[in-house]
Structures are given as structure tokens and as C-alpha cells.
Amino acid sequence: MTGFGPALIFVSLGAQMLQPHTVIPVSAMLDATAGIILSLLDPIHGGRRFWIPPAAAIVVGSFAGGVLLGSMSPDLLRIVLGVTIIALAVWFALHRARLEAGSLAGALPPRSSPADALVSGLGGVLGGLTGISGPPLLWHFGRKFGKRPLRQILIPVFLFAALARVGTYAGTGMITGEVLHSYFLALPGLLLGTYLGNRIFLKVDERTFSRVIGLVLLASGLRLVAS
């Protein structure tokens, strides 16, 4: 429904069952799969001049974060990330849900700004380290765009980020037999959830969309802090 669900949900819940160095590569593979499916279910026409620079920036950041992941423990970062996600959840559920539909842009502008690329690059580094690249982008773009253009930017940007993370993890030897096994176990649920979520997205209004995002973020943030 949201255009960013797999990593947030899978990392925060999967960390209860799997080691971080297993769950993070699996989440990247699930993110890439979901992005491809959503691109096919709901093709994005236009807006390339806007999302290509952020997509390029998040790819570079994802490579950097993915390389760092192999040499450091993400535990402390996960706690900080959890607190950040909880704050973002409150903002989406309480503040953004109250905004008038007309106050959020209904379409992507012709070009992106340097700030868009900078925030996307930060999200890429965060995603490479923790498997979750969404918070900076959700806050930055969620303040400007309604649900349709917001998902238009999130789907391609997160797809490129996920592909970059998968490539980085494969290159550093993190795509192991256990990772592939967990991915294929999770795949049927992902396929069904993505299909149903996309149908729901087409029917919900802006306020409900914001509240659903807030609830997803809140559950994820609480799980990350608790773990």
C-alpha cells in the first residue's frame, strides 16, 4: 500500500528470529522484488527527471552503507533508528493526517533539487547499514507530496536502492544459503501482500493513507527499540 513496507516490517520483526547480517540482505531482496511488482502493477508514467537524481544518490549511499555493514555492528544504530521512526510515525499519524489535501502537491515537479538528492543519499547509507532507508525520504518528501506522487517517488528510488544493496551484499559474500532460504520462505507472503496492498492504495483517501503509514512506522520503531 505505502510503497516502502517490506524493509521496515521485515527488519524490525525478522530481527527477533534472525541475525542482523541475515535479515538485512533478505530485506533488500524483498524490497527489490516488491519494487518490481509495484512498477508492473501500477506503472509510473513521467517524472523521470525528478526521481533519477535521488535514485542515483541513494544507490551511491547504499553501496557505501552496505560496505560499512560488513565491518560494524548495527545494534546501536538500530536503537537510534527505532526512536527516529517512532517520531516520524507520530508526525505522519497526527500532523500529516490533518493537512488539507490541497496543501500537498498532487504531481511531481519537473526537476528535483540538491536537497532531494542529499536526503536520498543519506537514506541510502542508512539503508545499507540497517536495511531501512525510508525515514529520511518519508519525512522529506512526505511534507511536500500527496499519496500518489509520494509513492511515485518512493517506488523507483527504493527499487534502485534495494538493487544496489543486493549487489553490494552479494559482492561482500553476505548472500548466503541461509539468506536465500529465508527469502524464498518469505516470498509468497510478499507477493500476496503487495497485490492486496496495491488494491487498497487505489481506494484510500489521503488522511487514511497518512494514518496507515503512521501505524506501520510506529510498530516498526517500537520493535526496533525493543530488540
Q: Is the pLDDT of residue 156 over 80?
A: yes
Separation CA 1–CA 158 (nearest Å): 14
Separation CA 220–CA 201 (nearest Å): 20
Does residue 165 contact residue 128 with C-beta atoms inside 8 Å? yes
Does residue 198 contact residue 42 with C-beta atoms inside 8 Å? yes
Taken as a whole, the chain contains a residue count of 227
pLDDT digit string (tens) for 169-215?
898 898 999 999 999 999 999 999 998 998 898 889 989 999 989 98
Does residue 113 contact residue 144 with C-beta atoms inside 8 Å? no
pLDDT digit string (tens) for 10-33?
877 777 777 777 888 898 899 999
Quick count: other Cβ atoms within 10 Å of Cβ 13?
16
Residue with cell 500500500: 1
pLDDT digit string (tens) for 73-97?
667 777 777 888 899 899 998 888 8
Does residue 218 contact residue 225 with C-beta atoms inside 8 Å? no
Mean pLDDT of the region 100-116? 85
Pinpoint the alpha helices (H) of 101-146.
114-130, 134-142
- Looking at residue 19, its pLDDT comes to 78
What proportion of the chain, given as a percentage, has pLDDT over 70? 94
Mean pLDDT of the region 92-121? 87
Does residue 118 contact residue 138 with C-beta atoms inside 8 Å? no
* pTM of the shown model: 0.84
- Looking at residue 133, its pLDDT comes to 85
- Looking at residue 71, its pLDDT comes to 66
pLDDT digit string (tens) for 133-142?
888 999 999 9
- Looking at residue 101, its pLDDT comes to 64
Domain ranges of the chain: 5-226
Quick count: other Cβ atoms within 10 Å of Cβ 61?
28
Does residue 62 contact residue 124 with C-beta atoms inside 8 Å? yes
Report helix angle 75-90 to 206-226, nearest 10.
150
- Looking at residue 80, its pLDDT comes to 76
pLDDT digit string (tens) for 46-83?
677 888 899 999 999 988 887 776 666 667 777 777 88
Separation CA 179–CA 174 (nearest Å): 8
Mean pLDDT of the region 102-120? 89
Furthest CA-CA distance within the chain: 49
- Looking at residue 140, its pLDDT comes to 93
Q: Which of 136, 36, 23 is nearest to 85 (CA)?
A: 136
- Looking at residue 169, its pLDDT comes to 86
